[in-house]
Amino acid sequence: MEDLQPPRIAIIAMPESTASVVYGMYDMFMSAGRDWNLIVEGRPGPSMFVPQVVSAHGKDLTAGNGVRIVPDETLDACRDADVICVPELLVPPGEPLAGRFTAEIAALREGYASGKLVATACSGALLLAEAGLLDGCEATTHWAYCDAMRSRYPLVKVCTQRALVASGEGQRLVMAGGGTSWLDLALYLIARLADIDTAMRTARLNLVDWHEIGQQPFARLARTRQVEDPVVADAQTWIASHYASPSPVTAMSARSGLAERSFKRRFQLATGMSPLEYVHTLRLEESKQMLESGQAPIEAIANEVGYEDAGFFSRLFRRNVGLTPAQYRKRFGTMRKAISLAGAAATAAAS
């Protein structure tokens, strides 16, 4: 059976774009599937998307913030793309768009008519409205542009309070509002086109939407990568499926055939972590997944990952993650649920 090709994503760059958003979206899509393996296993996985920066003429351009953008292709590449993305549009809210962005609007119309998914961040939704694609549809954009969109395009149902809207036939028009909405948009597209776990991993790797808590909740994962020492690598493979077992360090040591003291020394040398610290790291990572994806009581999660004392588990979690298990669930579980519901709605509408 022929292998499925990864989705191609055309990111339209214009002089009215911001380079950080254009290349930020590019980096997020390239990260999906690639960087999680790099952190966990020490080698990159295959990227799950093929992003390209495209422009009207395919030539270098200066973005709205003065940074040089070097496109990969012209807008013709949109014909081969599965998704067309429009970053924000750096124009005053009341400025007329008639006669401007002719080539970009034509590419959006052609892409949508041919069944492609068209997505915009922030004020980029103005191009969809100017193209007539939002007539009769719900839409959102940056709060500073909502009144202008409502006034200039009266057939568009502007949803001022909604951060993300999927609209149109098969919910193939996706808009995110707000200055950093391209992050939410990218995660939504990753979840919709790949799966929610990939989106959550990309969010965690890039600290999306939780910048105020710093990198502490994510940093320990980088220390679980596989090593070249065959004895330690075998122990790592075994413990990945047996981290909840009683006395796991003793079991790993026995499996290695080494004296426990020698095994601990060798493990520390190879990984930079003691065997017990490594076990705690795996258990905490599994508990994060459980906290994100379900509503099991904290005590049940503690027991599931190998801790009989839920109080000890909670203290350990907070010391290593910087949040209590309940705080972690509230922040990351809400995001997972929102992405999951949005993706389910899009799937139902497309079927």
Rounded CA separation 117/128 (Å): 12
From the candidates 78, 122, 137, 146, which is the catalytic residue? 122
Q: Which range (6-15, 42-51, 224-233, 329-338) has the least confidence?
A: 329-338
Q: Is 50 exposed, middle or buried (0-12, 13-18, 19+ CB in 10 A)?
A: middle
Output the CA–CA distances (angstroms, integers) from residue 156 to 22, 106, 147, 166, in the order listed: 26, 19, 11, 13
> Do residues 50 and 8 make contact, with C-beta atoms less than 8 angstroms apart?
yes
Tens digits of residue pLDDT in 191-216: 888 888 888 888 888 777 533 344 34
**Quick one: what percent of the chain has pLDDT higher than 70?**
90
pLDDT score, position 315: 96
Domain boundaries, the chain: 8-209, 216-333
pLDDT score, position 272: 84
**Quick one: what percent of the chain has pLDDT higher than 90?**
51
Q: Is the dihedral of CA 221, 223, 229, 235 positive or negative?
A: negative
User: CATH second-level architecture of 216-333?
Assistant: Orthogonal Bundle (1.10)
- What mean pLDDT do residues 7-23 have? 94
Tens digits of residue pLDDT in 71-127: 999 999 999 999 999 988 888 887 888 889 999 999 999 999 999 999 999 899 999
Tens digits of residue pLDDT in 230-272: 999 999 989 988 999 999 999 999 999 999 999 999 999 988 8
3-state SS record for 17-51: CCHHHHHHHHHHHHHCCCHHHHHHHCCCCCCCCEE
The one-character DSSP state at 211 is G
Average pLDDT taken over every residue of the chain? 87
Known catalytic residue at 122: yes
From first CA to last CA, the distance across the chain in angstroms is 24
What does DSSP say about strands 173-176 and 164-167: parallel, antiparallel, or unpaired?
Answer: antiparallel
Domain 8-209: top CATH class: alpha beta
Q: How confident is the model at residue 14 (pLDDT cuts 50, 70, 90)?
A: very high
Tokens of 129: 């409205």
Helices and strands in the chain, H and E counts: 16, 11
Q: Which range (129-133, 160-164, 318-322) has the least confidence?
A: 160-164
